Amino acid sequence: MYPDSVQKIIDIFSKFPTVGPRTAARFAFYLIKMPSAEFEEFLDALDGLKKTVKLCSSCFNPSKEDLCPICQDKSRDQSLLCVVEKEADLASIENTKKYKGLYFILGGVISLRKNNKEIRIEELKEKIKNANFQEIIIATNPTPEGESTALFLERELKPFNIKLTRLGRGLPVGGELEYADPDTLESALEARK
């Protein structure tokens, strides 16, 4: 129905998170109608993104350098590690300005249907092995998948004999960490047990 080159871009956008074929088609039409100068700016920004940003080798947050500013910051509490599902969760916690430890981004959750290898469990163990953490906060989302992931992490990290905590249940059950307001997140950080 659509020209090949339109169908091609619809197929690619359909794989983007939260995007289905209809939204992907809207994106294609939006791009076709986008003024050339703006389109060039978009291509440049994509190129710039891929050329200048990689994942921090220690926490996996997007970073311009091998180590992100948080991992480089020696004034942060090197004995405290916070494990989150994804980048946006790290950003939400940083936004409270109340957490001064380090982070680790799992890159997903344990799903019964999917392969567990999709989360960075080996990289997490490696990081813990090479550091001296006194406490690890398992800050997965209070969703069914987040809960299974937390249980999985508790089991996998038990041999390290490090205090494992969870975020306090100031968070509404069934909600998403990414959408919590800073105050709720702050209470959750303080009420961790």
Give yes or no for residue 125 binding a second copy (CB under 8 A).
no
Which is closer to a second copy, CB of 38 or CB of 155? 38
| CA angle (27, 109, 137) in 5-degree steps | 120
Residues 49-88 within binding reach of a second copy (CB under 8 A): 49-50, 52-55, 62-64, 86-88
Report which secondary-structure segment, H or E, holds 150: helix 144-157
Greatest Cα pair distance in the chain: 60
Give yes or no for residue 25 binding a second copy (CB under 8 A).
yes
Give yes or no for residue 23 binding a second copy (CB under 8 A).
yes
Ramachandran category for residue 161: left, alpha or beta (phi over 0 → left; psi -120 to 50 → alpha): left
Give yes or no for residue 162 binding a second copy (CB under 8 A).
no
Contact 62, 55 (CB under 8 A): yes
Give dist(CA 175, CA 188) in Å, integer: 13
Least gap, CB of 82 to a second copy (angstroms): 16
The DSSP line for 26-65 is HHHHHHHHS-HHHHHHHHHHHHHHHHH-EE-TTT--EESS
Which is closer to a second copy, CB of 16 or CB of 160? 16
Least gap, CB of 41 to a second copy (angstroms): 7
Which residues lie near a second copy (CB under 8 A)? 1-3, 5-6, 8-9, 12, 16-18, 22-23, 25-33, 36, 39, 41-43, 45-50, 52-55, 62-64, 86-88, 91, 94-95, 107, 178-179
